[in-house]
Amino acid sequence: MEQTYITLNNGTQIPQFGLGVYLVQGDAATKQACLDALKSGYRHIDTAHAYQNERGVGAAVKESGIPRNEIWITSKLWPSEYGEDKTMAGIDKMLSRLGTDYIDLLLLHQQFGDYLGAWRDMEKAVAQGKVRAIGLSNFESERLEEVLAAAAIKPAVLQVECHPYYQQKALKARVAPYGTAIECWYPIGHGDKGLIGEPVFTEHGEKYGKSSVQIILRWHIQEGNIIFPKSTNPAHLKANFDIFDFALTEEEMNRIRALDKGVRYFNMSLAEQEKQLGAFKPAD
């Protein structure tokens, strides 16, 4: 199986398929999941300060024996770390937690706080070689355009909820002029049985000898989305990655595109995000 890559707007190549470790509890479990994934061929891990498991990711990368430059590490800064000087200190702490000299992709995790000050520090971190690429997560309000207008380095990626029921076509059009790639969380719709059970996935699965989940993940790959489904089950890790030996036809892709109905699984207003998420401060 051959991993596919997306060339970002700064010329770097990101593995299109990775492992997400959101909700993987503790460094030990995270380390094991990452090691299992790396053994199965994964070369991309997506974590965040807020997940409180960056040390587990870093330990797995070291223990794997795979050269550091062959593994893509993404992490995210929490709003409590936003602001000039404060963000640079947060980046240095992140490098220490991950046990690495550089981060491949660094994102602003939420669209509130001093995100413009944070972006300026992230640009400095790129210049200093601490970070290879920078981007945004969950910026879908007019604050996205605010960052795009102020940024000297345009976001390489925008990480948002995206799946067949919510395909983010309008958002993709907003960021297309900047060459910003879309990364998808909830790529299989938060495991929603209604989505996974759609007849189109069953039909395609029978044709290709794949599961409905594998068909959805393959659809993302052909759509040009970057994905990182979470799992700690070695069998599921292998199955998720086993999608590079077939391709959906354009007609099959269009049938899946027709499922788009603007349905999200995470619904929280910007005001609610600021109030509820802003009260959290991750430990170092």
- Of 57, 63, 11, 3, the residue nearest 30 (C-alpha): 57
Give every CB contact of residue 12 below 8 A, 6+ residues apart in sequence. Answer: 104, 132, 133, 156
C-alpha distance from residue 64 to each of 16, 29, 52, 96 (Å): 20, 15, 21, 18
- Of 96, 146, 90, 153, the residue nearest 120 (C-alpha): 153
d(CA 213, CA 235): 13
Among 42, 51, 166, 186, the active-site one is: 51
Q: What is the CA radius of gyration of the chain?
A: 18
Give every CB contact of residue 206 below 8 A, 6+ residues apart in sequence. Answer: none
C-alpha distance from residue 193 to each of 20, 200, 202, 205, 284 (Å): 20, 14, 12, 16, 37
Find where tokens 């993404």 sit. 74
Active site residue 51: yes
User: Active-site positions?
Assistant: 51
